[in-house]
Structure 1
């Protein structure tokens, strides 16, 4: 075997986790009939959904024998009862080996209930449940539903697969879907239109579910897997049909086609988008979003009082599709764009790391999936939108073409500028738009001094960065032991520079109904508190025995995209929200009368030590990916960032933004 052949074999083994016999498997669950409930609550499409998804997966290379179907009304399929679903998950987990790929698909009704047994409480206080065929209502005490699969149960199954180094793609074509893997009420199903073109919505209130039915107690459930603590979601992607408060429709698809039949909208869009052979999960999700507008416009005219669904994606969307891999194909964002005449409008702007004059790669995707590319230069950038001219070589393409834009490089204004007479530490890993560049003495933010065997020293030349340094470090700089520590420090300083830029951009914005309050507590009560935007960190300095917590409240009446990131005394970045880097950062909707709220512990904030905390939020745009503003981060010791989910912001909402950078100076604890 030649050296080149051996190298190729090694790369293949690494891509599959070292398992040359990696297998793709799927569990498809469709619940059309709720046998303990009135037929008015039944659905039509889930049985069609699982068959469409099965056909789609086989076309993608799945072996038919490795696709398990649980659905009513499907020949040869087991009934989708709660016990059978858990048994199928257990078998799938037992079959799975390191390097395998698993799809977990669920189509049917979702609902929300109060479940005080959950460790992770949702911001709106409600827990999502998927209704199996034998679902019943709760008794007077409330809690989890008999025959309902809880969000926390799905989370345990997913983490069990991830613990075996299995890649998991989850799809939930249900209402109340966006929190289904983590632990105002949905409206009832509704028929409209003629019998051959009715629309039904996949959402029921828990109170609508009858608790009556067979008097015998339900059979014992399949034991759930042991909770796998600390398992990163590096090999995980999930698509949800709607946000937690929304319902999603089923209707005849494709619209006006002679062979159309009832389908879930997300299921149909996923199947259609896969025909375009997307390279990454982001490409697939953007393809799904491109199919929604004409259907949504039609439904808006028929149901003007309804809030129609916004699909949500989470996980590492930049990974190659249908592969067990943790290395993204690209680390730069991809933004969808809309064409109007000779201009392209991006639903991203200064908050996302764009700046006027920046070079961009424009991709035009034709109806047959063929892509044409060209380079262009950004002409204008506002907080949440940007504009550029259509490159001349793409000007003649049809108006129906979908467009996307990717930056050719990181913006110069966000770069950490380093003065050094020797080579900088290698292996830097940063989320866009943060970067590190060499610079002359006059422009440098940091000076790097290589001390040889003694390590090195980072001298902070920028006053803004020096303010976040450790006690006593300003005169001589930050001394590091080796290149690995220097790399961590440089990454944190580069991210801190971008975070400071974000706070500056957002400081004059307002997000009506959103609030972030820092609380200082002891073991029993709140001692002091203040709004993050209205206080200096020194006013809330910690004393021995005290701890800090952040309370976030969303009473804006809409979902928001939220990022909370801290920098501890050692300069290490701490992700507060989303806490798990495999989760989306879309925070649930609340109203002024009933706000969605969540409390976050800040254990890394210590008495007598400097620190920073960035809180940034904007209204979520319907039918878009969540956006991390370039502030999402893995722990600084992690060699690669695992999540790069970036989305859009509509121009008319660009002033609706909440941003605050809270800084604790290096005070001495009393």
Structure 2
């Protein structure tokens, strides 16, 4: 074989490899019409939402033949069977580093279980309505629709093929929905709206890790999200969808920048309707958000959002996120020092000689302090706790004892001692929560959220339910030395990025972005910290 032929053969192989590079796919679902339900339950926005999302993805480089649309105005009808069938096909066809954007616009109703509640036989989750959803007259049972657990299983199956799933849901996870006179239509239906009498559902299977999952959700479990007419076209559209697309058009580098910009756009849209802040939905973002957009690769190095208000420069992160007075941050020619670090925010001082006039994203000088050292250095948190946290302590051969989960040393605990942890959110607002086990002589173990990339937001009780998290442990002996069970909690502020609890040691959810990606939401200077310790014996 001549050298020229060999070179041609090698070039052909390289081109062949490029031809099977990672692909981008999208499954867009918009359910506006529900023929078997009252017309008052129909929506107008999902049809235009799907069309707008499709146009935005084409602008991002998605090819038309890799975008599947299920809506009332075009493409396949958004029925349960059609959607599940397409998800199954994607599971078979997607491969390593491929990206699937899963978008859903429409109504949802609440089944008897929801995220944040302990998995029990009477738990709750969300049912997303499809075009063929209906309520049977006999037994008042709901047919059609796709439950959040079914979608979760499909996402898990696709993630198992090492593909990245980017889920964007402009639906409500609320138990009730109304039409108001403020120009908004609220997505989300109550059971009574459709004449449905729900029954208890079995608990979901143990969740799997989703290392390649990104989630953008328009509202928390107890909230609704609105649609309204677009002034320029008169067409109805979801406010969250409109915000997500506007943020995407700004060409964000990472999912964190996209999320931050979408939240700001969402806040501005809600503010234009002069709604009280208590009625604003709070978007929730999950996953490794600092990953480059449409990439199947690893997250990039952590960056921190520098903001500015009437009092000067600040960061919407604080002690709970591992920041301390004296920390240095740098962005190009600008440098800041943390001078007043609170629980949820840090005030910054612009270092003399720095060049900074607008907010941006900055890198932080790394600190060698270990998590346990930082945890024990945190001050106590007096006052009323955000969460009702308790433990049940059962020593071998002894009756159980109920104790509050506070800064306490339990002393010596023999092997076989059982510790049952219970955390309840009895307030009317969500709380960001981190629970972790930190032994002196072994690896740390995250408890809540159990899986990296999951949301650390604990919603309030919904209806007559209880927002509770429970976990049991058995003391195994002296091999770990002294051990700590730590709880860190903070109010979930509307319009802010997810907390970066340092005890979880998770990839931080932010990276460098444009100046318009930064909002003005503030975190309250409030927290709950509890450190329970013991020493195991034989």
Matched, 1:644 2:508: yes
Structure 1 segment 117-516 matched on structure 2, within 5 A: 121=119, 125-137=123-135, 145-176=142-173, 186-193=175-182, 198-210=183-195, 232-253=209-230, 257-259=231-233, 261-299=235-273, 301=274, 303-304=275-276, 307-325=279-297, 327-330=298-301, 332-335=302-305, 337-340=307-310, 343-362=312-331, 374-389=334-349, 403-411=359-367, 415-416=368-369, 494-501=370-377, 504-505=378-379, 507-512=380-385, 514-516=387-389
CA distance in 2, matches of 1:124, 1:498: 39
Structure 1 segment 556-575 matched on structure 2, within 5 A: 556-568=427-439, 570-575=441-446
- Give the superposition deviation at 1:113: 1.5
- Give the superposition deviation at 1:517: 1.2
Determine helix, strand or coil for the equivalent of 1:379: strand
CA distance in 2, matches of 1:665, 1:407: 39
The equivalent of 2:8 in structure 1 is: none
The equivalent of 1:588 in structure 2 is: 459
CA offset digits 1:19-77 (Å, max 9, x no partner): 943211110000001111111111110001111110111111111011000011x23x1
- Give the superposition deviation at 1:661: 1.0
Determine helix, strand or coil for the equivalent of 2:348: strand
Given the two structures, how large is their TM-score scaled by the length of structure 1?
Answer: 0.69
The equivalent of 2:494 in structure 1 is: 622
The equivalent of 1:65 in structure 2 is: 65
CA distance in 2, matches of 1:24, 1:591: 37
C-alpha RMSD of the superposition = 3.6
Determine helix, strand or coil for the equivalent of 2:498: coil
Which one scores higher on RCO, CA 8 angstroms, separation ≥ 6?
Answer: 2
Note if contact 1:510-1:658 (Cα within 8 Å) is conserved in structure 2. Answer: no
How many equivalent pairs are there? 509
The equivalent of 2:400 in structure 1 is: 527
Note if contact 1:511-1:556 (Cα within 8 Å) is conserved in structure 2. Answer: no
The equivalent of 2:6 in structure 1 is: none
Gaps of at least 5 residues in structure 1 are 2-8, 177-184, 213-226, 363-371, 398-402, 417-493, 634-640
Change (3 A) 1:115 1:61: same
Note if contact 1:556-1:591 (Cα within 8 Å) is conserved in structure 2. Answer: no
